[in-house]
Every structure is written in C-alpha cells, then in structure tokens.
Chain A
Amino acid sequence: MAEPVVRAERFAYSYPDGGGRSLHDLSLEIEPGTFTVLAGLSGSGKSTLLRALCGLVPHFHGGEASGELVVGGLDVREHGPGELAAICGTVFQEPETQVVMGGVRAELELPLEHRGEPPAALARAVEETALALGVGHLLERRTDTLSGGELQRVALAAAMVHGPELLLLDEPTSQLDPVAGDELVWLLRRLNEDWGTAVVVAEHRLERCLQAADRVIALVEGRVACDAPPGDYLAWASESMPALATPASRLFSLAGLPGRPASVKEARAGLREAGVALPERPAEPSPEAASRAWWRRDRRPPPALALRGVWLEIEDGPTVLRGLDLELRSGERVALMGRNGAGKSTLLRLAKGLDEPTRGRIERAGEVALLLHTPGDYLIHEHAVDDAGAAGVAAAGLAGREGANPRDLSGGERQRLALEVVLAAGPCAAVLLDEPTRGMDRAHKDGLAERIRDLAAGGAAVVVATHDTEFAASFADRVVLLGQGVVIGDGPPAEVLGGGRHFSTEVARVTGGAALLPEEAAQMLLAPEVLR
C-alpha cells in the first residue's frame, strides 16, 4: 500500500493569541489520489488544519504545535511552507489576495521560478497547466481584469503548475456563482482523477462537492468527529449534526426514507426505489392569470424603491445595466441572483446612491441602508460599542461584549454588528445586503434569515444579492434573476428557483422543482397520495 500523503498523530495546535486550542489530538491519514472534503461549522478548525498541512501553521502564524503531522514525508513542525510548497499547492478563499503578479503568465511562472526550474521546463509546465485548467486564453491577460471565477482558476493553476501531490483548498467556491462553483468542483475532480493529485477541500456548501468526494472528515471544535465516505458521513450528520447535512440528505431524513444520498442523481434514484411519485411542478401561469396578477400588483401601494430604465455604462468597460426596470414594495424579501458580473452589486450601489446611473431614474420612498459584502469595512473603531452604540450591540446579539474589538469577533458576529451600524438611523424604506452569507455556516445563515424576516415585518423592502440558492429559498418571497444587465427572471422562489438548472436548490433538482427546501419536500413526500 502506498505511503499516505498526510499522516497526523495526536497533532494539536494553538494560535499565539492564547485563545485556546484550535486543533486537538488530530489523528488521520490521507492516501495519495483521494478526494477529501473537510466539513465543519465556522471556527471548527478546517482552515487551521489546511494551514497546518501547507506549513503556514506554525511557521507563519506562530503558536504552539504538538504531536506529529507529516506531509509528503516532511514533518510540518520542522519544514516550513517553502519546502512543503514542493509537495502541496494551496488555494485560499479570497482570490484577490492570493494572486501575486500583475499578469497571468507571470503568476503561473512564479512558483517554478522559486524552484529554479530551467526556462524550457517552465514554459512547458505553464502551457500544459493553463490548457488543463482552462485558463490558456487568459495567459496574456492582466490579473486585475479577471472576474472572481477566472481569478480563482488562475490561483488554482498557480497552485498546480509544479505538479504537487496534494492540493489544499479553503472554501474555493464561496465567492463564486453557482455556475462557476460547479465548474471549479468538476475541475478539481478531473485533476484528482487524471493527475492523481490528492485533493483536500474545506467547504460549507457540501452539496456542491460531496458527489466528487471519496471521503469526508468532519471537524467539531478542532477534533475529528467523523471520518467516513460521503454516504456514511451523511448518516452521521443526520443523526448527530443536522447543520452539517446536505439538503437532499435532510430531505431523506425528514421523510424517513432509507439511505443518505450524496448527489442529486443518488437522491432521485432513492426516491424511485422508495416508490415515490412526486407531483408535477406547478405549470406556468396562463397569460390571463399573469395579467390579473400584474393588475393586482399595479394596485399595490407605491414602491419603497424603484429603478426605472436604469443604464450603467462604464467608460472603457462593459455596459453593466441596460435599461433595467425594477420595483420593490415594503415588506418584500427579495433575493437578487445572477452570475458574477451580472450587475447585482452595481444595482445595490445605485439604489443606495453610491454611484449614479448613466441614464434612468431611481426613486426612494425613504432611507436606504446598504451593507456591502465586507462587513469589516464598517467596523473602524477599537470597540464594538463605538461603531454600533449600546443598542446596536445588543440588537446584534452581542450584549455584554460592548468593549470587544470588532477584529476579534467571528465572521457571523461582525456581519450582525455591521448590519446594526447601517440600520442605526432608524426605520428604512429599503435594506440592501450584498453577499452576506459568504463563508457562513448554516446556523449563522438561519440567524440572518430570521433577521431579514424581522426587517421586512417592520416594513422595509429587503433585497439580498446572493449566490446561495438554498439561502435564497429560505428567506425570500420573491427572486429576481439578473443576466446581461437586465431582469431575466422575476417571481416567487418556487417559480424562479424551481425551474432553473444552475440557479435552483438541490432539493428542487431532486424533486423536479416540486419543492425547494427539505422541510417542504418532506411534507410533500409524507402525503399519502405521494407514496405509491
């Protein structure tokens, strides 16, 4: 049997800030050529483990490590990230800060230059890697002109260009739209199969990558809580930690069906085996019904926020919005979706007044609050109370931590605090959130969905730009899909997310659009007429 590429024996680690152990007595082995997913809630130690595997922990971050962690035959306590870089390639969550050079070709050449590769070998490795990872057409581009998805692929190519045995990825899809996210996961699977590279990927949205995985390691408070193939892992998660289960497996669990499917295909097969005949997806409304709905819509109160014929053309750049029309009413909970670059963030910035449209009109019935996608940007003081006030800190669920430095708060806590900062002026006509769930686990997403419902109940139109279809289905009563700078879909979640291919939930794909969320689908399955 081949030597494991990773072998940990009672490995433990604490960061130098004295906040306790981040990893406890970790013992595991990872075989060459396997695809491993690291699962866990925020703060469970996934990122720390990845940083230990590439040598940043303890050499770069400091802190105390004990036990043994051997990667490719090198003990990480003795060998730093430079030496481990020959064995493992690493891709972090934020594409922007992991790309070092100004041009894509130079970015791919850099790791090989560090190793002193001769120019001919370097040129060949760059060409072959670029072609294999589908970035050949980007080689002459500047890195600051790439989209998030392109940048992430370039980072992956730079991590793979020297042919490492082990590839480590920390939430690589968290900033990507569903299309780019799926593409990246399939690319990883292909690298794993064709090149024999062992892949270890930390991910919150397990439904995206479990179908490609051979094995799942779940971490809970820095310890291995489960280490099993995807099906067994899902069985464990359904029993012990439902927050770490995928939507399809939750559906099976709630409906009392046997097995825990790791993919949509398995879930459909499971339903067939159980003799389940799901109802057809509701038909599109007839033109007469649609016309009546629009008549009713016209009789509603004036909009809280309206964009009328809005264009945004960037000098020397693309036209982002093309005559977009959109009305948002008080109390609506709207998920704004679309590919990276579809114009979601631009629309929110225009609605707030941060940018001016090239043409068109924006009408606001009152104050508009906007939380941009980096909550830390709103927290500029040393103490939470100085940023949000005592009432804001309490509303963020942080009562008693008024004196805490916002930098020391977790991602979810910072998000809640920043939201209170922008809401401090009092009731708003519209509350706009740009990608608030990046890197959030399910428990935090549920909390955010609850807050959104509260804000809407208070009379605000709440608009959330998101790539997360599951989250959109959980809070929204309307989904607006943008494409090419115009609205290409607008309706209730069941209609927009139920009929899509990429922009649909896992449960919708399993049930053919009959339901979006596990709870809803389980209720449907438990109806007597559904089981044959």
Chain B
Amino acid sequence: MTLIPTYRSRPSALHAARAGVGAAFCCAFALAGALYRHPLILAGALGGIVVAGAAAGVGREVARSLKLALPFALLVAMVNALVYQGGETLLIRGGEFLGRRWDVTLEAAAEGMFMGLRIVVLITALGGLMSAAVDPDQLLKALRRVSYRSALTATLATRLVPVLARDAGRMGDARRCRPEPPGRLAVVRAALAGSLDRAVDVAAALEVRGYALAGRPGRGRRPWSRHDLRIAAAALAVTAVGIAGAAAGAGRVEAYPTLDLALGPAEIAIAAAFVALGAAPFAGRAARLGVQRG
C-alpha cells in the first residue's frame, strides 16, 4: 500500500468523465483551498472532497491522503504558533532561547491551523481525489497536445517513480538478507546509482517506441457524455462560488492583533455549497453508469 493513491478504473461518474474534466473538478476544490483561509469554508471544501471521494468509490484513498496531509498541517500550525509572536491572547508563556522569547498566542496558533487546513484541502483535492479518480495517462495525453515533450517527460517521470520505489524496496530486502547489513547511506547511494540505470532503460524503451519523432497527437472528436457535462458543471459551479465569494469579501479572517472571523450567512452558504457541489455529480438517476441488463 502506498501513501499516494494510484489510479484504478472504477464504476463512478468521476472515473467515467474525461480526464480534463475530472481534473478540473478536483482543481476547483484546490482553488477554494488557495482562495480562502476561513476554517468553515475550508471545512466545506474538505467536506465536498470527502463526499465526492466516497461517492466515486475512492473514500479510502482520500482518507489516506488526509493522513498524509495531517502531519504537514500540524507542522505548519506548530511552526507558525512558535515563530510568529503577534496576537494579544497569550496561551503559553515560553522562556528565552536563542536571544528571543518563545510565547504562543491564540491568534498565531489559530492562524497556523488555518494555514494547515489549507494544506489539507490542497493535498486531499490533488493528491487524494485527483490521483485516485483521474486517469493520469488520459490527462497527460491531453497535456501532450499543449506541450508534447514536457508531458512525455512527465510521463517518464511518473513511470519511474513506482519503478524506483520497487527498486528501493528490493535493495532494502537485499540489505536485510546480508549477514551484516550495511548502513542505510550506502544502500541509498547504491539505489541512486541504480536509478540512473533504470532511467536509461526506460529512456531506451521510449526511444524504440519512436519518442524522437515526437509527433503531436491528433485531436479526437469524443462526444461529451452526461458524466462529462455533470462533472464539468459542478467544477464550474465550485469555481464560480469560490471566486464570487472571495470577490464579495466573504470568508474574511483577521488573525491579528485579535482573532476576528466573519461568520455570517455568506460563509455558511459557501461551505454548504461546496459540500453540495461535491455530491451533486453523483446524485440522481443520471449519475448511474448504465442500465441493468434484462
């Protein structure tokens, strides 16, 4: 089991939608994480991601990415609380160390948590939902029409990651098989040297598949399915709600000198909209993937 989820084809509206649309849906939630610091709105965006993940059958993968994100979020929260000395509400009086005071204020701690929550939203949207529910091959194929070689290089890099991970795992096993296991540094150095060989092998495979010709892939006329339309509509709606709310000044957060959070109907509505829009493409008869036989 890897921490970063890998894509598997599943019977869901999100998996059935074209990769570009699926990616736009996930990125729309990530955009909400980038636009807002307000905890309720961020919680709404996270709720939308979790609901969409569960409905798409990748709830476990999203939960796994949440586990990956939480330590980062906590680290950011702690660092902000320790390093930033602004705020009037003292929570912990620290001593003097390295020529400065190390007090922790409620405002700095809260601000750190808001930043951490943003990281959680970004990681679960992109590293969780998108990794598990959007076909990377299709996505890179779409990107190849824009920048062929860059996208192919990205393909090569993404292909190398699991290959190198397996190599590292094998070398770790070989280390355990030695009567006197060598230091980890020696193994890491050997794994790095081996990764060059691997990269050469994969590059050779690309060469003999005609990589050097680098023709631009033809644009296929694939009709838009109802899943494409519904996911695209949800992505647009999440983006529109996020941008419109931010432009209207909703989700205002003032951390310093005292904590001041706007908590009115606008914030509640935006948070509720994110959750609802996360569920919307999967609701109703139209979200079913097909008809039952006989």
Contact = CB atoms under 8 A, between A and B. Distances in A.
Interface in A427-451: none
A83 interface: yes
A425 B215 contact: no
A425 B217 CA distance: 57
B189 interface: yes
Contacts of B173: 349, 354, 372, 377
Interface string B188-231: 01100110001001111111111111111111110000000000
Given A102-B7, A378-B174, A378-B178, A115 B201 contact: no
Interface string A101-113: 1110110011101
Interface residues of A, number: 66
Given A85-B209, A85-B213, A113 B8 contact: no
B99 interface: no
A313 interface: no
B205 A97 contact: yes
Interface string A202-242: 00000000000000000000000000000000000000000
A56 B179 contact: no
A246 to B, nearest CB: 30
Interface string A394-430: 0000000000000100000000000001101100000
B96 interface: no
Interface in B39-76: none
B141 A111 contact: no
Nearest to A86: B210
A497 to B, nearest CB: 29
A82 B219 contact: no
B9 A140 contact: yes
Contacts of B206: 100
Nearest to A122: B218
Contacts of A113: 141, 144, 215, 217
Contacts of A349: 173
Contact of A114 (B170, B175, B209): B209
Given A114-B211, A371-B177, A378-B174, A101 B137 contact: yes
A354 B175 CA distance: 11
Nearest to A425: B179
Given A60-B204, A106-B138, A142-B6, A378 B177 contact: yes
A369 interface: yes
Nearest to A109: B141
Q: How large is the interface on B (under 10, 10 to 19, 20 to 34, 35 or more residues)?
A: 35 or more
Contacts of B189: 380
Given A144-B162, A369-B177, A380 B171 contact: yes
A422 B117 CA distance: 49
A520 interface: no
Nearest to A94: B201
Contacts of B205: 92, 97-100
Contacts of A94: 201
A97 to B, nearest CB: 4
Given A56-B204, A142-B7, A377-B174, A102 B211 contact: no
Chain A, interface SS category: mixed
A117 interface: yes
Interface in B154-169: 155-156, 158-159, 162-163, 166-167
A81 interface: yes
Interface in A145-163: 158-159, 162
Contact of A81 (B137, B166, B212): B212
Interface string A41-80: 0000000000000111000100000000000000000001
Contacts of A381: 182, 186, 190
Per DSSP, are chain B's interface residues mostly helix, strand or loop, or mixed?
Answer: helix
Contacts of A369: 177
B86 interface: no
B63 to A, nearest CB: 14
Given A352-B177, A424-B180, A83 B6 contact: no
Interface string B124-145: 0000000000011110010010
A96 B204 CA distance: 13
Nearest to A107: B137
A60 B201 CA distance: 11
A116 B1 contact: no
A381 B183 CA distance: 11
Nearest to A120: B220
A118 interface: yes
B176 interface: yes
B34 interface: no
Given A80-B212, A354-B173, A101 B159 contact: yes
B213 A114 contact: yes
A119 B174 CA distance: 46
A280 interface: no
Contacts of A82: 207, 210-214
Nearest to B170: A377
Given A97-B205, A144-B162, A354-B177, A115 B215 contact: yes
Given A372-B174, A380-B189, A100 B155 contact: yes
A110 B216 contact: no
A90 B205 CA distance: 8
B9 A60 contact: no
A304 interface: no
Nearest to A406: B190
A122 B174 CA distance: 43
B237 interface: no
Contacts of B170: 372, 374, 377
A85 B208 contact: yes
B187 interface: yes
A6 interface: no
Contacts of A421: 178
B158 to A, nearest CB: 7
A115 B213 contact: yes
Contacts of B162: 144
A97 B202 contact: yes
Given A118-B218, A380-B186, A380-B190, 14 more contacts: A56-B207, A56-B208, A81-B210, A82-B210, A82-B213, A85-B213, A86-B210, A96-B166, A102-B7, A116-B217, A140-B9, A142-B8, A144-B6, A378-B178
Interface of A: 54-56, 60, 80-86, 88-90, 92, 94, 96-103, 105-106, 109-111, 113-120, 122, 140, 142, 144, 158-159, 162, 315-316, 349, 352, 354, 367, 369-372, 374, 376-381, 407, 421-422, 424-425
23 contacts: A60-B203, A82-B213, A83-B213, A84-B208, A85-B210, A86-B213, A88-B208, A94-B201, A97-B198, A97-B202, A98-B205, A102-B137, A114-B210, A114-B213, A115-B213, A116-B217, A119-B218, A140-B9, A372-B170, A372-B174, A377-B173, A379-B190, A380-B186
